[in-house]
Amino acid sequence: MTDQKRPAAVPARPRAISRRGLLQSAAAFGLASGAGGLLLPGVARAQEVPQSGGTLRAGILGASSNTNDPALRQDEFGVMAAYTTFNHLVEIAPDKTLAPELAESWEAAPGAKEWVFNLRKGVEFHDGRTMTADDVIYSINRHRGEASQSGAKALMAAIEEVEKLGSHQIRIRLASGNADLPWNFSGDHMAIVPDGFDNWMKPVGTGGYVQTSFEPGVRATWERNPNYWKEGRAHVGEVEFLVLNDPQARIAALQSGQIDALGLVDPVAVEMLKGSGAAQVVNSAGGQFWSYAANCKLAPFDNVNVRRALKHGIDRQKILDIVLRGNGRIGNDQPVAATDPLFNTELGQTPYDPEKARYYLKEAGLDGLSLQLDTSDATYAGSANVGQLYRQAAQEAGIGIEVMRQPADGYWDQIWLNPSRQMTSGVWMGRPTVDMLMSTIFAGDAPWNEAFWSDPRFDGILVEARAELDPAKRKEMYWELQSIIHADAGHVIPVFADFIDAYSPRVRGLMPTPSWYLMGARFTERVWLAS
Amino acid sequence: MSLHDITAPPLRAPGFARLPVLAAAAFCLACLAAAVAAPVLAPHDPADLVALPWQPPGDGFLLGTDQLGRDMLSRIIWGARVSIGLSAAITALAFAFGVPAGLAAAVLGGWADQAMSRTVDLFMALPPLILALLALSVTGTSLVTLTLVAAFLAALRVFRLSRALGVDLATRDFVDIARLRGEGTLRIAACEILPNAAGPLIAEAGLRFVFAFLFVASLSFLGLGVQPPMADWGGMVRENAGALNYGGIAPLVPAAAIALLAISVNLLGDRAAGGRTGR
Amino acid sequence: MKPEPAMKVPLLAIDRLEIEAPGKGGAPLRLIDGVSLQLAPGRVLGLIGESGAGKSTLGLAALGVLRGGQRMTAGEVRLAGQPLGRLDPGAMRRLRGREVAYVAQSAAAAFNPAQRLIDQVIETALACGMSRAGARARAIDLFARLGLPDPARFGGRFPHQASGGQLQRAMTAMAMCARPRLIVFDEPTTALDVTTQIEVLVAVRSAIREEGMAALYISHDLALVAQMADEIMVLRHGRMVEHGPVRQVIDAPKSPYTQALIGARGLVRTPRPSAAPILEVRGLDAAYGEMKVIGDLTLSVPEGGTLAVIGESGSGKSTLGRAICGLLPWSAGSVRFAGRDLAPELRRRTRAELKDIQLIHQLPDLALNPRRSVGAAIGAALARFRGLRGAAAREETARLLRQVDLDPSLAARLPGALSGGQKQRVCIARALAAEPRLIICDEVTSALDPLVAEGVLKLLSRLQAETGASYLFITHDFGAVASIADEVAVMKQGGLVASGALADVFDAPPDPYTAALLEAVPQLSPGWLDEIAARRSLPDTARKDHAV
Amino acid sequence: MGRLILRRGGTGGLLVLASTLLLFLAGEMMPGDFASKLLGASATPETVEALRLSRGLDASPAARYLAWLGGLLHGDLGLSLTNGREIGALIASRLGNTLLLAGLAAAVAVPLALALGTLAAVFRDSWIDRAVLVLTMVTVATPEFFFAYVAIAVLAVELNWLPSISIPRPGMSVWEVLQVLVLPVLTLVVTSTAHVARMTRASIVAAMEQDYVGTAMLKGLPRGRIVLRHILPNVAAPVSAVVVMTLADIVVGLIIVETIFAYPGMGQLMVDSVAKRDITVVQACGLIFAATYIFLNMAADMLAIAFNPRLRSAR
């Protein structure tokens, strides 16, 4: 956790939450019932009327290679900038439901293979043009096709056709049914830009702010879009992003009042920031979790009892207390966050129980167990230290863990998903839908099946649930899936880490938002500044 | 020719300046002992969480605890092993390659000297931190590559010094005598030149050691140095830097250790180079 | 000679002075031990002694200055009646330059390399309140009187643009510029060639006489002091050994030490009958890179005898030695040794050839590896050339050390623990270890004190008789030549100007250069310098000075 | 002297050329590539290939090296791999910033260091000397990032006197810009002063051992005059060389300071680009650093020539 403090570490080192982390997370939206009971001045209170104006300054992780092109964006900067400049077809509302944004409504044909989206009329781009279906189709097609360089290419791969039905209506045909399709359009990659647009130094969108300057890796500024179509949104007069990467400098900048907003706050700083009165800290419990994946194709981890021993040999509370300083929840070896409506509330929590672990080892016919655990800062900073905690706890259960610290460079390419490794660590930001989450990590043919686990029954239920439009049935199926993972899969999921943000005292309208840092990356249009 | 007035008070007795040198020697020895006997000396396992994070000194933890609640004293002791071992390895490697190459260049002269010297010129013409950054990006960061890269950079300087010393010594009459005996280059370099270059080289070794130390700390800052959970002092400063904003002293402990060791080695190196004022 | 003035108010009075320096073991080392002297205005006192006698320390004390670490522990130094030990620094500073000035041995190092000469010469005069124009005029006048070329513009040079002799004279001008009453000359001509030396001596002497200044003239060369001084004080180990008027000290030395000093100059060798040459050098050309040092040189060394090669610095005599040894391959010509041609390159010579020709250097400090013991230095040669190792080598080393009159126990010592003379003897022993047929002695006595040098020369003569080795004896010192050579060759600018049997060349110099060289060799007789000065229409001394 | 300078300049040119090759090779050998870094998790072989093609990476290394060199000769640094921008434009403001910061740091550090070094040397073995010795030893032995953090914690956070972020904004007054730069400048000054001060002291002490200083004393000159007229002119060459080398070190040493204070300079750009495998930018930055370093080293040598009357008057 040492390095929790450096959510982004320094530029030379791959970001703490890189690749699997930050990059996906933008598209990540766990539905959650946010952390309640905040008594901060900035947290929205009904009686307060938002004020307009002022300059909102945020410290953002970034690099000189940043671009405004949402298809190629990297880092926190790209995500935050995307939601400041652009709108999307749908948005995750602060009340955690899927809300219309540039699409006013949508409808799926039975089987969820065909979708029709009705677009909002009278929305103007920053350059004065009015948004039509052509713009939306262009914006979607940018991510498809052979030549696409987009990060959302895989996400859009299931789309077979995008059709214009009218000036403000489109139809999307999928290869197979997907009840959750609209969620895919809330991700930052999927920003809506004018038809044919490609001048990314001067981005044009329909968002609440118009970019006025952009120095990659240094700063960017916006001013309020005077023609913004949304009511009661985008309150501040100007927005400024300062690229701040050094963990110490980020906190210091907030403490000394040079910035108003900071995401990816190190849990270690939380208490101090709260105590100092110099900042408001907002925790958003969401879908971010750490994982240890035991290789189920490799003996002895192909024996479910060994996997159960591993699950009982970890002291989740200690990791939560020490590494996260309580800023999170303990995990239960399944990926759905407790804040998700589809969370299986009836699943029993696996405790830290060395005796039980020993018992399971014996069941597996083993007296003891020793294994190598690969960790790397490529996952989250300080993962090696968390590994040490696991080692300490597992020792009691007769499980010897050798914590390997792998170089960040090449960890994802060479160590992770390498069928010869015994146990690897990973980090997941959650996914907008439980289906996405499970199909990317747990399905037998999942691209990132880090535990090499497969269960035909699980796979069958998963496909069935995907096309199911009935909420009650969905819930039943997803509960079942969670329980299968919990009991059988190769994953040890010790904790869910909160998204922790900090704001200067003058920021108002704050609200825990489960989907990502800084109010699901939409803070610029949701907060306002007290004078 | 240093002159003084006939009335001027005589210089202080040399014994007076001995105190800092003795203290430096004591500190170096202590660090060395810590490095060698870490398993015996450290009160706790450096990886074990023994208390709450960032406890102040006292309460059974002489130097408090670190950002994870590990015993700072134990980590400093084990860190001595990593830090000193690494710097020593870097220095040793740099000398193992730099000195023979430098002396060979000096004694051989001609195109061999030209080839070696110009190559070294090229690498010395590039900023060391940039070189390290590039090299470590190419090779990937591990204890081995880190040592090799830092040793290479140090070896460049050692080469230059050795060559300069060698060129100077190679013109000495006793080297002529050895050549008149028909002795080979290697023997001349080893028997005639090396022993006479030893003084300045030892002083340089002290300097290189300190630089290696700080260089590794700088690289640690850039994420290219010693990787956790290994405890090296530079990394410990970095890991605990967060405490500064709380008014915690945790990062001061390893920082002070670095500074003290650097100063001590410096002092001893100066003394080895001769003269208490000759820095 | 001028009449001795009455010594009523001594300009400089030193009374039972004691000066100490920190010694090695912590016990202080007494550098000056109860020396007293008085110097009247206008008089010149010569201080004589070998290295370590304390003469420079005494000279500096006259300026109220000590070297680093030294302390005055007793006695008093009075300058113009003022007790230097009790003045405040400011007052002391004001005395320097106007009352007393200093001329150092190495003017090249004593001038600030970054400033033009004139600025440095007039600096003190300006500080004394002289106008810039006045000071410049005075300096130019002094330059002229000291025989510097183009006096009006000479001062515009930087130190590196003037020769050693010129700098020495410029430094004298600098000392004189503010008209001090006393000048301390600390070995002012030791670093110069004899022909240059004599010119500087003449110029300096006439200048101080004209200015009526008193002087302390410090030198290790009795002959020089005899020319410059009115009286002589002989120092040894910080104590005064003898003090008296020049004539008295030279003609009737009272102390045995002084007698020995005077006797050291009288060593003369009985020439041997000429033998067949063991070494023949024909048409030799040698160069350092682009710079040609030796051109078309031909000479030979008689078997069992000594050829002395004489020349001033830059004449190429040392280069000749290095070429013959093989350290500097020659570019043309041939060298025949014992009837066989030698290869120019060292690595093409046989071990026997290497063994047969040995080299002894001028500075034993540099010629001995400071990190190898005496025994190891000699042992390396024994092992290499005679295959002796272990006990045999140790025995032979002991024998060699005894042969050069050293205690065999010295074999265990490092060179740093030996005196200069001992070190040179070790070098000789090391050369003998090879049982060579030819030894090239490159200025082997130049760095040694006269008495030590005499001992080394005697040793070399004796060894020649014992071993039958031939010597190529390279030197600039005529005294040494007379005591060791059978034949001489005089070199100038890389070529030979005269050669032949010792007596022939010395008694009837065949060419003007050799004659001038011989004439410039300081003689003990006090009137010698006057005679030369009279013979040459001095001060036309600038003719051979040229910028380096 | 002209010939010496020409020769030194020629060597410098060759070194720059050689360093281009070195940088190019380093870039070629760097594992991972920008395309997969950029596309991250969503990278598929096709998207990576498409991106690589679009940046012209399909040409052979030799061809790309020659093209790069050709571009350099025309002052064209090429395009950034990650965002396709002109590197020249990307670097221009960064270079300006870096030079500004380095210049300010040098403007403070150099006179300070010279003064400290001179004082320590002139009052050798006095308390001043010892104080300077201890001060320089401590600052040399303290990692600069640590000093920066302490400075931020105390001066920015605790006392709130100075901003901890040093991003100059357009439209700032000179005074505001200076204020923003205080902390990084302070850090650089602290870490770079020691070296120059110690070298200055050593040079002066060495000069004081020279015979001509003894001569000056024996000429009865006051101490101040000896220092000013006889010592300082003679240490100008070595000290100016150290000063220039320190400048070079400051320019390069900015990497860490820039990172901490978020100052948009070259060092940050380079570190960033290495992480993103934006090889063309890495190469351009590396080249500029190398050229600066080589040039300043050359300048140091030339100053030494200029200050040495012996070399100055030779030819």
Verify that A251 and A107 share a domain, yes or no. Answer: no
* Nearest Cα residue to B28 out of B87, B107, B94, B114: B87
pLDDT in tens, D96-122: 888 889 889 989 988 999 899 888 888
How many Å from the N-terminal Cα to the C-terminal Cα in chain B? Answer: 18
Spatial distance between the Cα atoms of C242 and C237, rounded to a whole number of angstroms: 13
Q: Half-sphere exposure (CA, 13 Å, Cβ side) for D105? A: 32
Q: Report helix, strand or coil for C512.
A: helix
Verify that A367 and A307 share a domain, yes or no. Answer: yes
Residue that finishes a domain, picked among A156, A190, A224? A190
In this predicted structure, what is the pLDDT of residue A27? 34
Verify that A62 and A145 share a domain, yes or no. Answer: no
Verify that A297 and A277 share a domain, yes or no. Answer: no
Q: Do A272 and B67 touch (CB under 8 A)?
A: no
In a domain, residue A264? The reply is yes
For C80-228, strand residue ranges (E) read: 82-83, 100-103, 182-186, 214-219
In a domain, residue A5? The reply is no
In this predicted structure, what is the pLDDT of residue B9? 54
In a domain, residue D192? The reply is yes
In a domain, residue D5? The reply is no
Question: What is the widest separation between alpha-carbon atoms in chain A?
Answer: 73
Q: Do C66 and B198 touch (CB under 8 A)?
A: no
Task: Give the nearest chain C residue to D235 (CA atoms).
Answer: C114
Helix (H) or strand (E) holding C494: none
Residue D65: pLDDT band (50, 70, 90) is confident
Q: Which chain B residues touch A250 with a CB distance below 8 Å?
A: none
**pLDDT above 70: residue A45:** no
Is residue C386 packed enough to be buried (19+ CB in 10 Å), middle (13-18) or exposed (0-12)?
Answer: middle
Residue-by-residue DSSP string for A212-265: EEEETTTEEEEEE-TT--STT----SEEEEEE---HHHHHHHHHTTS-SEE-S-
* Nearest Cα residue to C500 out of C238, C230, C308, C315: C308
Verify that A469 and A366 share a domain, yes or no. Answer: yes
Q: Which CATH number fits the domain that encloses residue D253? A: 1.10.3720.10
Residue-by-residue DSSP string for A288-303: -EEEEEE-TTSTTTTS
In a domain, residue A353? The reply is yes
Phi and psi based region of residue C405 (left: phi greater than 0; alpha: psi -120 to 50; beta: remaining): left
Angstrom distances, CA of residue C159 to CA of B137, C103, C125, C508, D308? 53, 15, 19, 39, 12
Neighbours of chain B (3+ CB pairs under 8 A): A, C, D
In this predicted structure, what is the pLDDT of residue B17? 61
Verify that A279 and A384 share a domain, yes or no. Answer: no
Alpha helix positions (H), B171-228: 173-180, 185-187, 194-221
Structure tokens at C145: 């009187």
- Backbone torsions φ then ψ of B226, nearest 5 degrees: -65, 135
Residue C412 CB neighbour total at 10 angstroms:
11
Select the residue of D150, D211, D286 nearest B1 (Cβ to Cβ): D211
Spatial distance between the Cα atoms of D197 and D132, rounded to a whole number of angstroms: 8
Structure tokens at C62: 């006259």
Verify that A418 and A472 share a domain, yes or no. Answer: yes
Q: Does A contact D via 3+ CB–CB distances below 8 Å?
A: yes
Residue-by-residue DSSP string for C409-432: GGGGS-GGGS-HHHHHHHHHHHHH
Verify that A169 and A47 share a domain, yes or no. Answer: no
In this predicted structure, what is the pLDDT of residue A132? 94
pLDDT in tens, C233-264: 999 888 898 999 988 888 888 889 888 888 76
In a domain, residue A20? The reply is no
Q: Percentage of chain C with pLDDT > 70?
A: 93
Q: Which chain D residues touch A74 with a CB distance below 8 Å?
A: 37-38, 40, 82, 276
In a domain, residue A202? The reply is no
Q: Which CATH number fits the domain that encloses residue A29? A: 3.40.190.10
Select the residue of D40, D170, D272 nearest A64 (Cβ to Cβ): D272
Whether A275 and A477 have beta carbons less than 8 Å apart is answered as no
In this predicted structure, what is the pLDDT of residue B94? 94
Structure tokens at B108: 């051989």
Q: Which chain B residues touch C380 with a CB distance below 8 Å?
A: 178, 181
Q: Which of B44, B45, B48, B49 is the best residue to mutate to test the A interface, defined by the most A CB atoms within 10 Å of its own CB?
A: B49
pLDDT in tens, A393-402: 999 999 999 9
Spatial distance between the Cα atoms of D82 and D38, rounded to a whole number of angstroms: 7
Residue C347: pLDDT band (50, 70, 90) is confident
Verify that A436 and A298 share a domain, yes or no. Answer: yes
Helix (H) or strand (E) holding C517: helix C512-520
DSSP code for C151: H
Q: Report helix, strand or coil for C34.
A: strand
Sign of the C-alpha dihedral computed for residues A245, A246, A249 and A255 taken in this order: positive
Spatial distance between the Cα atoms of C21 and B11, rounded to a whole number of angstroms: 11
pTM given for the model: 0.77
Cβ within 8 Å of B, C 78-107 = 84-89, 92
In this predicted structure, what is the pLDDT of residue C25? 64
Sign of the C-alpha dihedral computed for residues C107, C109, C110 and C113 taken in this order: positive
**Look-up of token digits 């020719």:** B1
Whether D262 and D166 have beta carbons less than 8 Å apart is answered as yes
Verify that A466 and A365 share a domain, yes or no. Answer: yes
In a domain, residue A483? The reply is yes
Q: Report helix, strand or coil for A403.
A: strand
Angstrom distances, CA of residue C327 to CA of A1, B171, C318, C424, C470? 68, 11, 11, 21, 20
**Look-up of token digits 């910033």:** D97
Residue D67: pLDDT band (50, 70, 90) is confident
Which residues lie closer than 8 Å to C31 by C-beta, 6 or more apart?
Answer: C19, C20, C21, C54, C57, C70, C238
Question: Which range is least confidently modeled, A25-29, A269-273, B45-49?
Answer: A25-29
Spatial distance between the Cα atoms of C420 and C363, rounded to a whole number of angstroms: 9
What distance lies between CA C151 and its chain's CA centroid? 29
Select the residue of A23, A216, A246 nearest D262 (Cβ to Cβ): A246
In a domain, residue A511? The reply is yes
Residue-by-residue DSSP string for C223-279: HHHHHH-SEEEEEETTEEEEEEEHHHHHHS--SHHHHHHHHGGG--PPPPPP--EEE
Verify that A334 and A462 share a domain, yes or no. Answer: yes
Phi and psi based region of residue B97 (left: phi greater than 0; alpha: psi -120 to 50; beta: remaining): alpha
Residue ranges making up the domain that contains D149: 88-277+292-304
In a domain, residue D287? The reply is no
Based on the structure, what is the number of domains in chain A?
3
Residue A29: pLDDT band (50, 70, 90) is very low
Structure tokens at C374: 């005496």
Q: If interface means Cβ-Cβ distance under 8 Å, which residues of chain A face chain B?
A: 1-3, 5, 9-10, 12-13, 247-248, 251-252, 255, 266, 268-269, 272, 318, 322-323, 377, 382, 384-385, 387-389, 392, 403, 405, 407-410
Residue ranges making up the domain that contains A325: 289-497
**pLDDT above 80: residue A154:** no
In this predicted structure, what is the pLDDT of residue C471? 92
DSSP code for B222: T
In this predicted structure, what is the pLDDT of residue D32? 67
> Which long-range CB contacts under 8 A does A79-82 form with residues at least 24 apart?
A79/A22, A79/A25, A79/A26, A79/A188, A79/A516, A79/A521, A80/A241, A80/A263, A80/A518, A80/A521, A80/A523, A80/A524, A81/A211, A81/A220, A81/A241, A82/A26, A82/A188, A82/A189, A82/A191, A82/A521
* Nearest Cα residue to C217 out of C190, C244, C184: C184
**pLDDT above 60: residue A18:** no
What distance lies between CA C32 and its chain's CA centroid? 23
Per-residue pLDDT of chain B (279 residues; tens, 9 = 90+): 577 777 655 555 444 467 778 888 899 899 888 888 888 888 888 877 777 777 788 777 888 888 778 888 888 888 888 888 888 999 999 999 999 999 888 888 778 888 888 888 888 877 787 788 888 878 777 788 888 999 999 999 899 889 888 888 888 888 888 888 888 888 888 888 888 888 788 878 888 888 888 888 777 777 776 766 667 888 888 778 878 777 677 888 888 888 888 888 888 877 766 543 332
Q: Do D219 and C174 touch (CB under 8 A)?
A: yes
In a domain, residue A299? The reply is yes
Q: Do C361 and B198 touch (CB under 8 A)?
A: no
Count of pairs with CB atoms under 8 A, one residue in A, one in B: 79
Q: Report helix, strand or coil for D175.
A: helix
Is residue D260 packed enough to be buried (19+ CB in 10 Å), middle (13-18) or exposed (0-12)?
Answer: buried
Q: Percentage of chain A with pLDDT > 70?
A: 90
β-strand pairing of A98-100 with A90-92: antiparallel
Verify that A332 and A371 share a domain, yes or no. Answer: yes
pLDDT in tens, C38-90: 888 888 999 988 877 888 888 888 888 888 778 888 888 888 888 887 888 88
Spatial distance between the Cα atoms of B208 and B226, rounded to a whole number of angstroms: 18
Q: CA angle, corner C369, sides to C365 and C374, nearest 5?
A: 90
pLDDT in tens, C446-468: 878 888 888 888 899 889 988 88
The reply to whether ipTM tops 0.95 is no
Based on the structure, what is the number of domains in chain D?
1
Q: Which CATH number fits the domain that encloses residue A130? A: 3.90.76.10
Select the residue of D211, D220, D233 nearest C93 (Cβ to Cβ): D220
Whether A496 and A288 have beta carbons less than 8 Å apart is answered as yes
